Every structure is written in structure tokens, then in C-alpha cells.
A = this chain, B = another copy of it.
Amino acid sequence: MEKYGTLLAVDDNTGILTALKYCLNEVFDKVLTLDEPDKMMALLQQEAVDMILLDMNFSLGVNSGQEGIFWLQTLQKRHPDIPVVLLTAYADVPLAVKGLKNGASDFITKPWDNEELVHKLTDVMKKQRELEPLDKLESDHIQRALDKSHGNMSKAAEMLGITRQTLYNKLKKMS
């Protein structure tokens, strides 16, 4: 089976890390583990990590998930290209919403189902591989601009930061 590069799992419970490692070794070429999130940034400088599985509570007695959100945001800033999947025991709807709105690729609750976990992670990796060609990205964005300006080409061109004439040309070539 084709594997998916390097995964980094971060959780303060080393038992969980062992379980994750055992379960995910078949799916990733390499599974790194870390029980202190503040060492994460240093590690990412040294290793080429393709995906991060992140717990959300590290300080004893605090289960708000705020730490997880903090590290997620930090990762999004410094490594926007690495997908982050959140994994937490103290999950509720608002926390899941907050995690996903902050850019997490998925949100999984403990205890997890191994098969489902593998499925979700491989799903993320598959999506991660895809990269739209520049011209498709462009035409989608142009479509969005036209939608937002209700078809007004002049305004759409201004939004896009291009000349009306250029937008006109691009539209002609697209159709």
C-alpha cells in the first residue's frame, strides 16, 4: 500500500501516543510523537512533517480546548501548508466549530475508532496532494468576483485588481 509521508502526533498522554503510533505505522512512512506542544515548532524546523494530529488539552485540569486552538493558530501562521487534524476527549459542538473555522482539516473525538481515524487521515492526505492549476484557480476566482458584483464587469475587474479590458479578454478565452 502506498504510504503518506510523515505524521506528527502531539498528545501529553504517552499511552495515547503509543496507541496512535501502533495504529498509524501502516499508513505513514514515519510517525513522530511529541508529548509537549511547545517543542513542536523546533521539531518542524528539523523534520519535514506532512500532517499533524493534535490533542487539545495539555495542562492538567484544563479541558477547554483553548490550548489546542492556540497551537492550531500558531501552526496555521507558520506552516499553513501542513494539515492539522484535532483529536480530543473533551469535545462539544462549539469547540468542533471553532477548530474547523480556525483551519483544522478534521475533528475527531476520543476514544477513536482506528479504522475511521485511518480513513479520515488518508482522506485529508489525498486532498492535500491535489493542487489546482493556476488558470483554474483564476477562472474560479473570476467567477466569484462576477457573482459578487452581480455580473458587473467593471466592478468585478476592480475587485480583482485587473483592467476591465483584461477581464473581458479572460472571459472571452474562458468560454
B residues less than 8 Å from A131 (CB atoms): 141, 144-145, 148, 159-160
Contacts of A137 in B (CB 8 A): 137-138, 141
The oligomer's copy count stands at 2
**A173 → B minimal CB distance (Å):** 14
Task: Count contacts on A: residues with CB < 8 A to the other chain.
Answer: 35
Is A36 interfacial (CB 8 A cutoff)?
no
Enumerate chain B residues within 8 angstroms of A136, measured Cβ to Cβ. Answer: 161
**Ranked 10 nearest A-B pairs via Cβ:** A133-B161, A81-B147, A100-B100, A134-B160, A96-B96, A131-B159, A93-B96, A97-B107, A91-B93, A137-B141
A-B residue pairs in contact (CB < 8 Å), sample of 26: A48-B150, A80-B144, A91-B93, A92-B93, A93-B96, A93-B107, A93-B109, A94-B109, A96-B97, A96-B100, A97-B100, A97-B106, A100-B101, A129-B148, A131-B141, A131-B144, A131-B145, A133-B159, A133-B161, A134-B141, A134-B160, A136-B161, A137-B137, A137-B138, A137-B141, A138-B138
